[in-house]
Structure 1
Amino acid sequence: MIDIESGQSVPRAGALLRAVERYGDTFTGELPLSVVESNSGVHATLDGLFADLTTTRARLDRAAASEGLAVVAAGTAPLARLGTVPTADGDPRYARMADAYRRLADEQLICGVHVHADVPDRDAAVRALCVIAPWLPVLLALSASSPYWLGADTGYASWRTMVWQRWPTAGPPGCFAGAEEYDRMVGELVGSGVIGDPGMIYYDLRPSAHLPTLELRVCDACPRVETVVLIAALHRALVTDALARLDAGGSGCDGNHARLRAATWRAARSGLEGELVDPVTRRPAPAPAVVRRMLRRLRPALEAHGDWEAVRSLAEEALARGSAAERLRTAVAREDLLAGVDRLLADTRGRARPAARPPRPAAKDRAARDDGRAAAGAR
């Protein structure tokens, strides 16, 4: 959530949630009071998901406007300051997390998009982890939208990933023979006291703790709904493809997770504008080539869901536009960080270009003002 005039991230989740409480659990709070979580319904078609997310964002935008706020869907807010975003009020779990993790919780000014895909059972979900994991950095690159942190360019396309990976259970998932072994590991982690509950398993991909799904968690929140739909379709296809390969006698990864973590770092650094680690050759390759290799691999699964043509079109559009991180940097280079916030806001609202703002202060006045300031879960 941002203040509509200053573009600054603000801790006003309570006011916004009260304004949308008639929509039930579509909108919920998060650890920081600058973030509101939006939850879609369950969909079998990409058109249905697109309509749902578009409607949900419009409702949230109208409610935010009534409070003098706006909502941007991005991995980080370009304009934010530490120490100004307290953790959620009245939630004992978040209170315990804030006390236990201190600076990590204080700096949790990030947003991701999570996608749930149905699985036949928990064993299938766990066995699919290693088959899917090498392709997760490609999805991260498609989503990258967080180059700015506390008003400065980090040099990364997804700085959210760097912030997120500091948590003790974040990063690529491990390899497990089945649900029993996985659940035993989760129990041991909770028993160690390092995490407070199974919900704090923050792997990039994990079996849901309460749903018959495999949950994708590696991606930045995406300004454009089209990107969310693309990632959701690719995640479902990755799950479908992995289960088919396992049924045919295939195996997962070789257990070398150092490569997975390195590939994730590469995607966070480069986005779509540089090289990624090709999951097949394990060598660097231009991001468009790796994305298209993934599409070729997943074509049978995409066709089985009727998604091939839509996904191919959305992927080529994403490659042509470039990452949200690069579009944000372009807007900032042309003007300033506030223009970058306007770009994110326009994309979140589904507009081709930012709405016109009132005339800005002269450069000297604007510099003085800037000295005083240092954002879907689709199932």
Structure 2
Amino acid sequence: MVTVGVEEEYLLLDADTGVPVARAEQVRRAADLQPEIDRSEVQRELLQAQLEIATPVCETLDEVGAHLERLRGALAAAAAEHGCRLAACGAAPFADRLSVPVSDTPRYRTLRATAPRLTDEQLITGMHVHVGVPDRDAGVAVLNGLRRWLPLIVGLSANSPLWNGVDTGFADWRTVVFSRWPVTGVPPLFDGADDYDKRIRTLVDTGLIGDTGQLYWQARLSERYPTVETRAMDVQLRVDEAVMLAGLVRAVVTTLRTDPDRAAAPPAPHPEELAAAVWYAARHGCTERLYDPFTGTLDSPPTVVDRVLDALGPALRDAGDTATVESGLSRFLTEGNGAVRQRRALRRDGRTGLVDLITDVTAGTRSGEPDGEPAP
């Protein structure tokens, strides 16, 4: 079985106002006291209003879901002890000020000194999916094929339409904010693992970036684990949405390894095409057209999803993930992704209703919107 693991980043919002609050250390210490959490599963993030969790290595999507529910529930309880709420939204919807102190580590202090304004505006949170690969050469081959899938993944996972109290007009504002760092977006093509390692070493050795952790491509090789790490996704409101995306990414990686022509037939798309497709996906999410990884064109979401499920069918069946991924994608098409549902909650229930929706769904005390209102 091809293994999978998920990292999720969360915001901490004030319980009354919904603005980010710098209470990560207090919440982390409170979570460490809970028996259902191993302290290694919760890490600091760049800003003191953020926390990150990492699941153990999993073989099934049921395992992924169980770990995410456990970790979200425990962190939400710890946050409540300190007057704040855990929020799985890709960008802070409201902020009295954009500046939140960085976490007190040498690396994060250096980042703040290097790029103060960019660091201050990193009130954004993502989801990373790690899929096991046998070696770095296999991982680079997967990266090269995965490039054409990234616009689709961005569009499906969009969950950050609001920023500092304003509707940005984008479904995924996190991608726009994040794109201002030096090494971001769709990774380039690489000629094997040696080429990959030489090029990232050059970036570090010349001082252009501080370390390999600043390789902010939407997919990269992990430097700690034998995995390909897909980083293109906003953190998801619901656990089942995160699980579905983890299954989708695993199926893409598996198909690229076992039947690459099925998932990424040549020729490779040009860099400018993929960059524009990612921008389009961040702008529109999955409410307009989606970028088709097979044809390189924009098409209706149902058409693209049908083609994707057909191509990934063998990998999904072998992993036992077909029902989970199919039902999750169907729900996105009928009810909308996180961006659609955030906008709908704000329009219907105002600021308080939106914050309640985000934080209640994150904590698992509410499964979603009661009326199942369809996507526009």
Deviations 1:338-357 (A, max 9, x none): 221111112212313579xx
Q: Which residue of 1 aligns with 2:17?
A: 6
Deviation at 1:136, TM superposition (A): 1.5
Question: Offset at 1:280?
Answer: 2.2
What is the distance in 2 between the residues matched to 1:15 and 1:354?
Answer: 31
Query: What does the per-residue CA deviation read over 1:155-214, in whole Å, with 9 as the maximum and x for residues that have no partner?
Result: 000000000111110100111111110000001111221210111111111010111000
For residue 95 of structure 2, the aligned residue among 62, 73, 80 is: 80
SS in 2 for 1:219: strand
Equivalent in the alignment of 2:279: 265
Q: Which amino acid aligns with 1:312?
A: E
State the SS of the aligned residue for 2:209: coil
Q: Does 1:212 align with 2:226?
A: yes
Q: In the alignment, is the contact (CA less than 8 A) between 2:251 and 2:316 conserved in 1?
A: yes
| Matched-pair contact (CA < 8 Å) for 2:148–2:264 | no
2:76 maps to amino acid: D
CA distance in 2, matches of 1:246, 1:12: 46
Measure the CA separation in 1 of the matches of 2:263 and 2:301. 30
Q: For residue 359 of structure 2, what is the aligned residue in structure 1? A: 345
CA drift at 1:114: 0.4
Alignment of structure 1 residues 322-361 onto 2, 5 Å: 322-350=336-364, 351-352=366-367
2:333 matches 1:319: yes
> Residues 287, 186 of structure 1: CA spacing in aligned structure 2 closer, same or farther, 3 A cutoff?
same
Instruction: Tell me the secondary structure at the aligned position of residue 139 of structure 1.
Output: helix
Moved more, 35-44 or 306-315: 306-315
- Indicate how the Cα distance of structure 1 residues 248 and 263 shifts in structure 2: closer, same or farther if over 3 A, else same: closer
Residue in structure 2 matched with residue 146 of structure 1 by the alignment = 160
Q: Does 1:131 align with 2:121?
A: no
From the superposition, tell whether residues 335 and 108 of structure 1 become closer, same or farther in structure 2 (CA, over 3 Å): same
- Structure 1 counterpart of 2:49: 34
Letter aligned with residue 30 of structure 1: E
- Partner-residue secondary structure (3-state), 1:162: helix
Structure-1 residue corresponding to 2:374: none
C-alpha deviation, 1:246, in angstroms: 4.4
Q: 2:60 maps to what in 1?
A: 45
Query: Residue 28 of structure 2 is aligned with which of 17, 23, 44?
Result: 17
1:215 partner amino acid = E
For residue 15 of structure 1, report the CA deviation from its aligned partner: 0.9
Q: Judge conservation of contact 2:55–2:67 (CA < 8 Å) in 1.
A: yes
Counterpart residue identity of residue 10, structure 1: V
Q: For the Cα contact (< 8 Å) 1:32–1:85, is it kept in 2?
A: yes
How far off its partner does 1:102 sit?
1.8
Deviations 1:198-255 (A, max 9, x none): 1111111101011100001000010100111011111111111111234999866536
Q: Which moved more, 1:248-257 or 1:146-155?
A: 248-257
Secondary structure, aligned partner of 2:341:
helix
SS in 2 for 1:20: helix
Query: C-alpha offsets along residues 136-157 of structure 1, whole Å, 9 cap, x if unaligned?
Result: 2222222111000111000000
Matched, 1:193 2:207: yes
Tell me if the contact between 1:2 and 1:72 (Cα under 8 Å) persists in the aligned partners: yes
Native 8 Å contact 1:345 1:354 kept in 2: no
Structure 2: which 5+ runs fail to align? 1-11, 371-376
| Higher relative contact order, chain-length normalized (CA < 8 Å, sep 6+) | 1
- 2:247 and 2:155 mapped to 1: Cα distance? 15
Q: Which residue of 2 aligns with 1:373?
A: none
8 Å Cα contact 1:342-1:354 kept in structure 2:
no
Provide the TM-score with structure 1 as the length reference. Answer: 0.89
Secondary structure in 1 matching 2:216: coil
> How many residues are aligned here?
354
Identity %: 40
Q: In the alignment, what sits opposite 2:8?
A: none
Cα drift, residue 70 of structure 1? 0.6
Distance in 1 (CA, whole Å) between partners of 2:302 and 2:165 is 29
Partner of 1:224: 238
Q: What amino acid does structure 1 have at the position aligned with 2:273?
A: R
Whole-angstrom CA distance in 2 between matches of 1:49 and 1:43: 6
Alignment CA distance shift 1:349-1:253 (3 Å): farther
User: Counterpart of 1:370?
Assistant: none
Structure 1 residues 250 and 259, CA, compared in 2 at 3 Å: closer, same or farther?
Answer: closer
> What displacement does 1:133 show?
1.3
Q: Which moved more, 1:40-49 or 1:305-314?
A: 305-314
Counterpart of 2:185 in 1: which secondary structure? Answer: coil
For 2:257, the equivalent position in structure 1 comes to 243
**Aligned partner (choices 56, 66, 77) of residue 71 of structure 2:** 56
3-state DSSP class of the match of 1:129? helix
Q: CA deviation at 1:108?
A: 0.8
Deviation at 1:317, TM superposition (A): 1.8
TM-score, normalization: structure 2? 0.90
Query: Structure 1 residue 318: deviation in Å?
Result: 2.3
CA distance in 2, matches of 1:236, 1:182: 22
Q: Which amino acid aligns with 1:276?
A: L
The structure-2 alpha-carbon separation of the partners of 1:252 and 1:41, relative to structure 1 and needing over 3 Å to count, comes to farther
